[in-house]
Structures are given as structure tokens and as C-alpha cells.
A and B are shown apart, each in its own frame.
Chain A
């Protein structure tokens, strides 16, 4: 049962890559401006996007870039699609925003729409809600992208038949430092669609590392 990375998206340094090819470049340097620019570029109509914190916006847009124009998820029951992500700063930006809202005893107004974003797994929820992904889900916190853990854990989920498709990778955003690498993992013998000119990559630690560093595979 060969596991393959069949599609991947990367957000870094004002650029968005799809399967290794730059598909969008934003003029502005800030995370806010890039995310707005990509939202428009992807031509999405999803008002809730503007209520998200930047970590969730990045996760949402990464998943959008990964899945738009494809029917990949339709090949699998929603309950068998997993989302397994890694991140470094958790929700630190909104943690600080929440702390600010309770700093002054005379202007003490904690906000539920801020507090809800003070846990990192909400980014999983935003992807799940948009794409009806209902299976296994987890967020692991690492200082840097750790492909070894993803390899061990996701392989086991497939081996034990708990999942038949997985969205996985790294989503990190704190201030204007943002970086994501999101990919789809499928079993070679279960892919229903025609491969066409698509380049599939073997799901292993070395290849994930190469994708992350932008090296050729």
C-alpha cells in the first residue's frame, strides 16, 4: 500500500506555490495583505473568512489552494479524511489580543470571537467546516516542521484503516511571519481519478523535507 503525496501547496515570502509552481505573488509584505490578495485571487465568497484570526486564514487559504478545481475529497467519505497539522506558535497572536482585552479593569470586555481563536485546533475546524472533512484530526506543536512525526502517525492511521485520505503539513503564523506547507496523502491503489500530468511523490520524510525547503524532488 504505497502512500503518495498527490498535491501540495505552500505559502511563504509573499508567494503561493501549487505543486511547486508559483501561482500567486502578493506585492505587499504583510500577512493581512497577502491573505486578502489570495482570497480575491481564489475568488472565494465566504464571509466568515473575515472573522478568522490570521492562523486560521492561512490554514483556510492553504486548504483552498490545495483543493480548488479538484474533486479529490469527493472520492472519499468525509469521515475517512483526516487533518493532521503541525504548528509552532499556537494561537499566540490572539492570546495577546485576548490579554489586551482584559488588561484594563475599567475597559474589561473579553470577546468570544477573540477567545475562540486562542486554541490552535480551530484552524482544523475552519478547514473541516469548509470542506466537510470529518475524520481524525490533531494539532502538534513543534519548534520547526517535523516530517518524521507526520510520517509515523499518518502511516499508522492508514495502516490501521482509520483514514483513507489525509490533509497534512505545517501551518504557522505569528505577526507577519507566516509559512505553510499543506499536502494531500492518498493510497496509490485507491485513487480513482486519472493521473494525467500530475506529479505524485512518495510520502516519506525525505520528500516532505524537500517540499518544505523548496528543493527539487
Chain B
């Protein structure tokens, strides 16, 4: 189930963050999203991920405080969503 969500999230992230030329296959779900090792996302991208969670999953968060842990990787985002949906 988490695998399906991860696949869905990959495409949603590509679309929401306008990652031109990126394919879901290239995205390692466990790799850090931010910083040089990952996709090199920045502060506006964090806020866009907040919008994505609200728009597609109805989950509202305050980016700067809660963001770093939730948005560490695609996998942590998926885990967070599943957790929120359980409660």
C-alpha cells in the first residue's frame, strides 16, 4: 500500500514542483529531497509540498516548523500521510 502511495506521490511531486524532465523511475523514495544529494529543493518547494498535502490529501501543516521531518524523503511523506489517514 505504501508502494502505491509512493508511486502516486512521485508524479504529484513532479507536477506540483514543476520538475521538468524528471521521471518517477529516477526518484529514490528514501533519498533526501533537500540539500545537494537529493533533488536540491528549496524553501519555496517546501511550501509547495505543504500545498500538495492540503490539495490532494486534505492535510494541513505549518511548513517551516513541521516540514523538515515530514518532507525528509518521499517515503517519510508517504508514511506521514498514511499515519494521518489512520487517525
- A contacts, CB < 8 Å to B: 47, 49-51, 107, 109-113, 116
Contact = CB atoms under 8 A, between A and B. Distances in A.
Q: 5 tightest A-B contacts by CB?
A: A50-B20, A112-B47, A51-B18, A109-B55, A112-B44
13 contacts: A47-B19, A47-B21, A49-B20, A51-B17, A51-B18, A109-B51, A109-B54, A109-B55, A111-B48, A112-B47, A112-B51, A113-B17, A113-B48
Contacts of B47: 112-113
Interface string B6-42: 0000000000011111000000000000000000100
Contacts of B17: 51, 113
A80 B47 CA distance: 34
Contacts of B19: 47, 50
Interface residues of B, number: 13
Contacts of B55: 107, 109
A83 B17 CA distance: 28
A73 B40 CA distance: 27
A47 B45 CA distance: 13
Contact of A111 (B20, B21, B40, B51): B51
A112 B54 CA distance: 13
A103 to B, nearest CB: 15
Nearest to A107: B55
Given A109-B54, A109-B55, A47 B20 contact: yes
A113 B18 contact: yes
Interface in B31-87: 40, 44-45, 47-48, 51, 54-55
A113 B47 CA distance: 8
B48 A112 contact: yes
A47 B19 CA distance: 7
Contacts of A47: 19-21, 40
Contacts of A109: 51, 54-55
A110 B20 CA distance: 21
Contacts of B51: 109-112
B20 A116 contact: no
Contacts of A110: 51
B65 to A, nearest CB: 16
B57 to A, nearest CB: 12
A50 B18 contact: yes
A112 B17 CA distance: 11
B67 to A, nearest CB: 13
Q: Which one of B21, B48, B54 has the greatest number of beta carbons of chain A within 10 Å?
A: B48
A113 B21 CA distance: 18
Q: Which one of A49, A112, A116 has the greatest number of beta carbons of chain B within 10 Å?
A: A112
Contacts of A116: 44
Contacts of A113: 17-18, 44-45, 47-48
